[in-house]
Structure 1
Amino acid sequence: MTLVEFVAGWISGAVGLVVGHPMDTVKVRLQTQTRYKGIVDCVVRMYAHERIPGFFKGMSFPVLSIAFSNSVVFGSYSNALDYLTQTQYGQCSKDNSSNLAAVFMAGCFSGATQVLVTAPSDLVKVRLQNQMRGSLGLGVGADKYRGPVHCVAVILKEEGPRGLFRGMGALALRDVPCYGLYFLPYELACKALTESGKQPGTFAVLMAGGIAGVITWACATPMDVVKARLQMSGAGGPVYRGVLHCISVSLQQEGVQVFFKGLLLNSLRAFPVNAVTFLCYEHLMRAMTSLP
């Protein structure tokens, strides 16, 4: 089952990443830079200076790492839920409904286990997404990072191994509770849209995955802003001493609304990305586990 979950996790995660990456790039720019007046201004200026490839900056590294990350998320959630309730994760419409508290706890556990995997790749993604041509970036010229591998090499040289985990505390504060919320509404919505004793259909999985994504990212956005700013700290962005210092400085300089930057984009991106991710995962798991 480990290999099956790994393959299903890689494919479903990669598909979801490709669908949502352009909006994620715009979201990161809005969260870490003050030059943009809003979503439309950011999109127009990005397209004018960087064309379509600019919206896909930083995507290659997450695609490569999403295999392990997604398999850790779904695998750890499945095993934790099995341990807590003696019911395995598979089809969300089983009659023996999982205890909601156990679903939340298993989701939190899955978020905690994947933070170490996600932290370096997410840092590289954010650094590359913020890189703009010439003097347009936050002190990061076009030749600062030539790609994900070069970005890792530069970070190791300038900041040491610890530099790859910059912002990991904020990432943990975002992902641990939010992965609990991620699986909880998915289970509830999927069961509500599926007849008892039957496997969830395409519509049920799409809607449940989309709803789970929107709820999760609505709750995750404030800490997502802090995480992105810490990841850019010292690399063209303001220097922060930690999570609390970042929150304090951001609040003083931009007001409470700063923590909701990218909320609309996160919500718009979350529905299709997570709908597609869960749909791919469910169907791949059914197909591969039914093979002789």
Structure 2
Amino acid sequence: MYQDFVAGWIAGGSGLLLGHPLDTVKARIQTMSGYNGIIDCFIKTFKNESLLGFYKGMFAPFISVGLLNSLLFSGYGLTLKWLHPNEKNIEHRKGLPMSEILIATVIGSAFQMVPAIPVELIKTKLQVQLDGGPSPAKHYNGPIDCARKLYHQSGIRALYQGGSVMAYRDMIGNLFYIPVFELLYREFHKREMNDTLAHMIAGGTAGSVCWFSICPFEVIKNRIQTTPSDGQKIYIPSLVKDIAQKEGFKAFYRGGLVLVIRGFPVNALIFVVYSRCMTALEKL
């Protein structure tokens, strides 16, 4: 199990460094007015906050995203090892039935859920916090201050704001993520494609498909998590109805292009790094 844990941690950290700027742009487009698309958001963020503005909220996920990624892959790998206790090599996974891949994905998703929700909440709140510009709105001095203030407002419940939507998002997303990767990678492997290239294309495509599939959940989650915590419960059906009536159906896919663009290189890197780390660790 430790191989999946270590490889997942390293791969997750690598993906975060590459993808966080686009993640910040995505969060702002989905929750804030004043941006006319991706390019406009990039320009205004850089002009008002410099390059550092794109890396807001990264400290908490940088420390923890490796852990979250490692929990996903650990739960996934542990389940497959439990189903096949005599198989020690990662190569055997290429021939497993998709039903087992789906079961392992669900269990891996459950492994990461509890720590993932507060980390995502803190990251999102920091990403939509403005520095500079005509009307700065800064409420939190970093992730620790954000967590402390949220906890003081409403207790531990405040750290799980939007948690139910995120649970649906991650479970559905991961059920696209790993199975799509496995299907594509197996096909490329049959065609004797270069292994690194196969991991890149299969991983990148899986990431883009995953994020596009859950874009509406991502929009709803971000709206909930960026709403000031005043102790009042936000009812998801009412929020969905309100967004649909005021902004139309397309609002649920706002920032979707960023998700798809970001999803490819980030997850291409994650799967390449994960595969190489697993191969190296199995030789120890």
Equivalence for 1:141: 137
Partner of residue 157, structure 2: 162
Measure how far apart 1:34 and its partner are. Answer: 2.0
Shift of 1:92: 7.0
Once the two structures are overlaid, the 10-residue window that deviates more, 181-190 or 80-89, is: 80-89
Instruction: Tell me the residue number matched to 1:230.
Output: 224
Deviations 1:241-265 (A, max 9, x none): 1322221111111010011011100
1:199 Cα deviation from its structure 2 partner: 10
> Aligned letter for 2:45?
M
Matched, 1:152 2:169: no
RMSD value, Cα: 2.3
Q: TM-score, normalised by structure 1?
A: 0.89
Is 1:91 the counterpart of 2:86? The answer is no
Residue in structure 2 matched with residue 71 of structure 1 by the alignment: 70
Contact 2:7 2:274 (8 Å CA) reproduced: yes
Q: Distance in 1 between matches of 2:92 and 2:30?
A: 35
Q: 1:5 to 1:24 in 2, by over 3 A?
A: same
Normalising by structure 2, what TM-score?
Answer: 0.92
Cα distance change, pair 167–103 in 1 and its aligned pair in 2 (3 A): same
Query: Which deviations, in whole Å up to 9, do the C-alpha atoms of 1:128-186 show, x marking residues without a partner?
Result: 0010025867xx723x1111111111111122111001000000110112111111111
**Cα pair distance change 1:89/1:110, threshold 3 Å:** farther
Q: Tell me the SS of whatever aligns to 1:233.
A: coil
Q: Is the 8 A contact 1:61 1:148 kept in 2?
A: yes
Secondary structure of 2:234's partner?
Answer: coil
Q: Output aligned runs, 1:202-221, within 5 Å.
A: 202-221=196-215
Would the aligned equivalents of 1:57 and 1:129 in 2 still touch at CA under 8 Å?
A: yes
| Identity fraction in percent | 33
Q: Structure 1 runs of 4+ off > 3 angstroms?
A: 81-89, 91-94, 134-137
Tell me the number of residue pairs that the alignment of Structure 1 and Structure 2 aligns.
Answer: 282
- Paired AA for residue 167 in structure 2: A
The equivalent residue for 2:272 is 279
**Unaligned residue ranges in structure 2 (runs of 5+):** none
In the TM superposition, residue 79 of structure 1 has moved relative to its aligned partner by: 2.2
2:9 corresponds to which residue? 10
User: CA, structure 1 residues 268+180, in 2 after alignment: closer, same or farther (shift >3 Å)?
Assistant: same
Give the equivalent residue in structure 2 for 1:42.
41
Matched, 1:258 2:256: no
Distance (Å, rounded) in 2 between the aligned partners of 1:282 and 1:34: 40
| 1:209-245 alpha-carbon deviations (Å, 9 max, x no partner) | 1111011111011101111111112259xx8713222
Q: 1:219 to 1:206 in 2, by over 3 A?
A: same
Return 5+ residue gaps in structure 1 as ranges: none
Instruction: Find the aligned partners of 2:157 and 2:36 in 1 and give their Cα distance.
Output: 34
Aligned to 2:124: 126
CA distance in 2, matches of 1:64, 1:216: 23
Equivalent pair of 1:76/1:109 in contact (CA under 8 Å): yes
Query: Are 1:92 and 1:190, in contact at CA under 8 Å, matched by a contact in 2?
Result: no
1:22 equivalenced with 2:21 (yes/no): yes
Name the residue aligned to 1:185.
180
